[in-house]
């Protein structure tokens, strides 16, 4: 009896392991099983056990490639009015040039989802806030459009909506008179998916962006952060950003 | 054009209605002032049309939506029972010529006009179900989640059990 029970246990473990290995092979790059296993039910609140973060490898980020920006604009229905100074921009490509050597490199810059976000510090209404899982958001219901947060952000990550809008997407409500910025695609993350920019970068096989839980030592992003040196932009401000860069 | 006699009759009718002398339904003949509320696309369950009994929804839908709003924005709770997106998916048709909120034919505005209520939900939120004209922005699971057809295709029982856990 006990022998057969042991065999069953062994067999189950073995079969489970095989299934996991097979699933691991079949899942798309950048999508890992532990994320599937951690799926949070829709009626459960986010917790600080998770901290979402992103690692961007600037060596893999091609000059002139705009796939992440396009994906973001499409995902959230961001449309311009031909006025780049004021058009909404949740993620943008920045080109760095070494004046001495002329070497250029390119990187996407988005809300860095700081642990100590200056935008939250300065917000007079509490509209700018950090979710328990580290995602920095604007509650547009109470945003009065004062734009202090835009001035406080060292990364110029926020935009103000100047125009009346129509045909917003159901998952990305946006409206005149409020400030907005990258949400780490919170509507996707809550459904166990990766942000649109990361998905686009991976789909084009650039693989310059990794998204995941930096509190989980087994996540791909944590392993990569442990293995390679990475930097925060303006680390001197001690904001402990959720977005890290390699190769700058 | 109304002749003077008809005008006086109308004024009298309106006055007696305001004083509660006549039920509102007496006015509801031709040229009714009562809202014409569009039918929903689906039922919540066999016994119940909306996510709460109709009387409760008529009086307190805003409380439910407001509560859900904060739960979703701050705590990431995305149950469907009181979500504005699901209200729209069920109460507004998904055809390209579906009315916008600015039209009195829009489910929400049909009543808000009657009740003289001005809301600003739809300055930011979509006032129609996600449009088939924009499918490339939606991919994979999210797409099936957000298509109104997904709601209708879902067995009522499944929807009910999913959302009760939120109570």
Whether A204 is in a domain gets the answer yes
B75 touches chain A (CB under 8 A): yes
pTM metric for this prediction: 0.75
With the CA atoms of B91, B96, B98 and B103 taken in that order, what torsion angle do they form, in degrees rounded to the nearest 10? 140
pLDDT in tens, A118-143: 999 999 999 999 999 999 999 999 99
pLDDT over 80 (residue A29): no
Whether A202 is in a domain gets the answer yes
Distance CA B124, CA A174 (A): 5
- Which of helix, strand or coil describes residue A246? strand
Question: Does A10 or B69 have the greater pLDDT score?
Answer: B69
Using alpha carbons, select from A218, A91, A170 the residue that is nearest to residue B122.
Answer: A170
| Residues of chain B found within 8 Å of residue A78, distances taken between Cβ atoms | none
Whether A37 is in a domain gets the answer no
Whether A195 is in a domain gets the answer yes
pLDDT over 70 (residue B145): no
pLDDT in tens, B80-92: 999 999 999 999 9
Q: Are B44 and B50 in contact (CB under 8 A)?
A: yes
Which residue from A43, A74, A131 is facing B137, i.e. has the nearest CB?
A: A74
B79 touches chain A (CB under 8 A): yes
What is the H or E stretch that residue A243 is in?
A: strand A243-246
pLDDT over 90 (residue A22): no
Mean pLDDT value across chain A:
89
- How do the domains of chain B map onto residue ranges? 36-130+142-164
Whether A59 is in a domain gets the answer yes
Output the CA–CA distances (angstroms, integers) from residue B78 to A102, B82, B83, in the order listed. Answer: 49, 9, 8
Whether A2 is in a domain gets the answer no
| Residues of chain A found within 8 Å of residue B83, distances taken between Cβ atoms | none
Work out the pLDDT band at B155, boundaries 50, 70, 90.
Answer: very low
pLDDT at A16 (0 to 100): 52
pLDDT in tens, A224-234: 999 999 999 99
Distance CA A90, CA A241 (A): 16
B137 touches chain A (CB under 8 A): yes
Whether A164 is in a domain gets the answer yes
- Tell me whether residues A75 and B137 touch, CB distance under 8 A: yes
pLDDT at B139 (0 to 100): 37
Distance CA B13, CA A83 (A): 56
ipTM of this complex = 0.80
Q: How far apart are the first and last CA of chain B?
A: 54
Question: Does A35 or B66 have the greater pLDDT score?
Answer: B66
What is the domain-level CATH number for residue A143? Answer: 3.30.70.20
The boundaries of the domain holding residue A59 are: 46-246
pLDDT at B162 (0 to 100): 39
A175 touches chain B (CB under 8 A): yes
Token digits for B18? 């305001």
pLDDT over 60 (residue B164): no
Whether A40 is in a domain gets the answer no
Work out the pLDDT band at A13, boundaries 50, 70, 90.
Answer: low
- Tell me whether residues A74 and B136 touch, CB distance under 8 A: yes
Place of tokens 């808000």: B112
Question: What is the tally of structural domains in chain A?
Answer: 1
Mean pLDDT over A139-168 rounds to: 96
- Tell me whether residues A42 and B78 touch, CB distance under 8 A: yes
């Amino acid at each position: 009896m006990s022998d057969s029970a042991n065999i069953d246990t062994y067999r189950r473990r073995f079969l489970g392991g095989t299934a996991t290995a097979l699933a691991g092979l079949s899942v798309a790059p950048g999508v890992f099983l532990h994320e599937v296993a951690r799926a949070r039910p829709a009626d459960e609140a986010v917790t600080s056990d998770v901290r979402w973060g992103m690692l961007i490898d600037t060596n893999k980020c091609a000059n002139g490639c705009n796939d992440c920006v396009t994906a973001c604009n499409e995902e959230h229905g961001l449309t311009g009015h031909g006025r780049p100074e004021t058009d909404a921009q949740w993620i943008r490509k920045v080109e760095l040039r070494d004046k001495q050597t002329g070497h250029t490199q390119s990187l996407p810059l988005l809300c860095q989802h700081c642990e100590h976000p200056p935008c939250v510090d300065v917000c007079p209404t509490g509209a700018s806030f950090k979710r328990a899982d580290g995602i920095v958001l604007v509650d547009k219901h109470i945003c009065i459009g004062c734009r202090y947060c835009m001035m406080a952000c060292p990364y110029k990550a926020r935009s103000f909506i100047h125009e009346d809008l129509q045909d917003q997407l159901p998952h990305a409500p946006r409206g005149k008179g409020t400030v907005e910025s990258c949400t780490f695609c919170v509507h996707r993350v809550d459904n166990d998916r990766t942000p649109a920019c990361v998905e686009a970068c991976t789909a084009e096989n650039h693989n310059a962006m990794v998204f995941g839980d930096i509190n989980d030592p087994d996540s791909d992003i944590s392993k990569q952060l442990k293995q390679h040196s990475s930097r925060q932009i303006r680390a001197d401000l001690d904001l402990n950003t959720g977005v890290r860069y390699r190769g700058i | 054009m109304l002749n003077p006699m008809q005008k006086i009759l109308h004024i009298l009718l309106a006055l007696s209605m305001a004083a509660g002398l006549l039920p509102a339904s007496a006015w509801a003949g031709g040229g009714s002032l009562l809202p014409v509320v569009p039918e929903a696309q689906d039922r919540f369950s066999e016994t119940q049309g909306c996510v709460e009994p109709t009387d409760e929804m008529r009086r307190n839908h805003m409380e439910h939506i407001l509560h859900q709003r904060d739960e979703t924005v701050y705590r990431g709770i995305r149950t469907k029972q009181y979500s504005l997106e699901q209200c729209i998916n069920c109460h507004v048709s998904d055809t390209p010529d579906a009315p916008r909120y600015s039209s009195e034919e829009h489910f929400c505005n049909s009543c808000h006009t009657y009740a003289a209520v001005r809301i600003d939900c739809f300055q930011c939120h979509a006032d129609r179900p996600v449009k088939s004209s924009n499918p490339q922005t939606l991919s994979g699971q999210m797409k099936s989640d957000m298509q109104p057809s997904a709601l209708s295709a879902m067995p009522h029982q499944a929807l009910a059990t999913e959302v009760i856990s939120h109570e």
